[in-house]
Chains A and B, each alone.
Chain A
Amino acid sequence: MTKRRILLIDDEVTITRGLALYLQENGACDVRVENTGRRAVSAAREFQPDLILLDIVMPDADGGAIAAEIKADPVLQTTPLVFLTALVSHREVGTESKQIGGHPFLAKPVDPDVVLGYIEQYARRG
């Protein structure tokens, strides 16, 4: 089975380290981590992920602006994207109308199994 290519963009190193490990060990994912928001788009172009997990509030870049840049990119515009943010509560996640810029979002702290479920649901199938 082909591994899903997941690009994980978050400035919190401890989060990306743990989540990447979990997705690799339990979700058969090939995970690339990017802890610098400014390098997110170039990392995506390079990695060509099946899904991008993107933090919204980062010190050097805004997740919303990165998402807009990805959407405007001819190569990346069809890449599914899921926001991962600490600025919403779990109650606000999950319904159709609760999206940010047309992308679904997950509220931190999120169970890694839920992240795997989102990957299953939204990731591009190779």
Chain B
Amino acid sequence: MWRRASDRRAQTRPLPRALNVWDENKSVTIAVLSNQSVPGRALTLSLMAMLMAVIAAVGFPDALLDQQILASMLALIPAFLLAHYRSWGSIALALGIGMVALCVTHLSAVYFGLPLGASPFILIVVTPYLAIALGAGWFGEVRRYKAELRATQLQLIQAEKLESMGRMAAGVAHEVKNPLMTILTGVKILSKRTAEADETTRLLLQDMADAVARADRIISGLLSYSRERGLDVVPADLNTTVARSLVLVKHDLDKAQIKVNTHLDPSLPKLTLDEFKIQQVLINLFTNALHAVGQGGSISLRTSLETVSRRRSGGSGLVNRVARSGRFVKVQIDDSGPGIPPDHLRKIFDPFFTTKPTGTGTGLGLSISRQIVEMHGGTIEIGNRDEGGARVTMMFKVPEGALA
């Protein structure tokens, strides 16, 4: 059964104090170390390794070289254990550095004619640097987790803000819509009774009716927003949904003589979608593009199958979301409009933010769109293209086992 997006967030992404958000197996080590600064972590690793080396030196003062190598290996065990929580690449790096350290220890003892008992001392000197080198690679991983954590926290804060607004909207709607009904009915009665009235009177009455309609659009948008909580998902072909959505705005596109270039990848696997809601998102995006390009402009629409690796995760725009690795269906909408001013990009998904003329847009379209996309586990980013115009990119994760 489909769980509500907010429920899923609550269960799998509580606001974390440590980096234990995504992978329970990583939580202990990362949680311990994430509370320290970067130099602090290096020092911790170094001290652990030094401690092991001292134990080895004290425990085996007159040992043979092989035993000292064993002792050196013991000294590196903490670093290996930490490496284990990272990746195979980090473990390989740790092993490589460890082997070099052992060689340096041994060769130094032989070259300088030092007694073998001195090699643990050299190891004590060398090991901190090894640990720091190991830590440097590891910190890269930590930094990446931190960036993802920051993005997730921003998502959660935004979701909380929007949910509060949704709750408020439902309450306000009832109190506002009733007076609007009174006004609208009154205007209609006056319009009928003053059918023969002068042009100015008729214009005033029409303005009043339009004002009611405008207020109603805003309230209805808020109501819709507060209701976007559940999905009715089925296995669906995104290309078909895109094509259907295009048909619904075809009249407006034709009227504005806008050229639409479509490149729909026929090999897309089926996704698990609420087709109606995704259609709502697409219509909203097409309408925005239509308004942006104006008469005679062009819109390019492309779908494709993408493979995203973890290291490539994140987006290039200001709206940077946490992407996971795997296969994704990408929907990209480019327009030939003037693009979006940089200071608007930051606010573009905020409720009520609009650049359209007063009365034209409610400023809720993109808010609701992002909510719907994220309910599908997808991401949406908006930015500007180098060649001019805006670009909207949506990514939807391909379910495991889905066939092309």
Interface residues of A (CB under 8 A from B): 12, 14-15, 18-19, 21-22, 25-26, 57, 86-91, 107-113
Contacts and interface: CB of A to CB of B under 8 A. Distances in A.
Given A91-B220, A109-B212, A86 B188 contact: no
B174 A86 contact: yes
Interface string B172-204: 011011111111111011001000000000000
30 contacts: A12-B178, A14-B182, A15-B178, A15-B181, A15-B182, A15-B185, A18-B189, A21-B189, A22-B188, A25-B189, A57-B174, A86-B173, A86-B174, A86-B177, A86-B178, A87-B170, A87-B174, A88-B223, A89-B221, A89-B223, A90-B216, A91-B220, A108-B178, A108-B180, A109-B180, A109-B185, A110-B181, A110-B184, A112-B185, A112-B189
B300 interface: no
B335 to A, nearest CB: 25
A21 B221 CA distance: 30
B174 A111 contact: no
Contacts of B188: 22, 111-113
Contacts of A107: 177, 220
Interface residues on B, range: 20 to 34
A53 to B, nearest CB: 12
A111 to B, nearest CB: 7
A68 B175 CA distance: 25
Interface in B200-217: 212, 216
A113 B184 CA distance: 11
Give the one of A19, A25, A109, A111 with max B CB within 10 A.
Answer: A109
B393 interface: no
B224 interface: yes
B43 to A, nearest CB: 60
B224 A109 contact: no
B177 A108 contact: yes
Given A22-B188, A108-B180, 13 more contacts: A12-B181, A12-B182, A19-B181, A21-B189, A86-B177, A87-B174, A89-B220, A89-B221, A108-B178, A109-B181, A109-B183, A109-B216, A110-B184
A87 B220 CA distance: 9
A110 B220 CA distance: 12
A62 to B, nearest CB: 14
Interface string B140-182: 0000000000000000000000000000001001101111111
Contacts of B219: 89
Contacts of B181: 12, 15, 19, 86, 108-110
Contacts of B223: 87-89
Contacts of A14: 179, 182
B179 to A, nearest CB: 8
A111 B184 contact: yes
Nearest to B216: A109
A81 to B, nearest CB: 18
B275 to A, nearest CB: 15
A57 B183 CA distance: 19
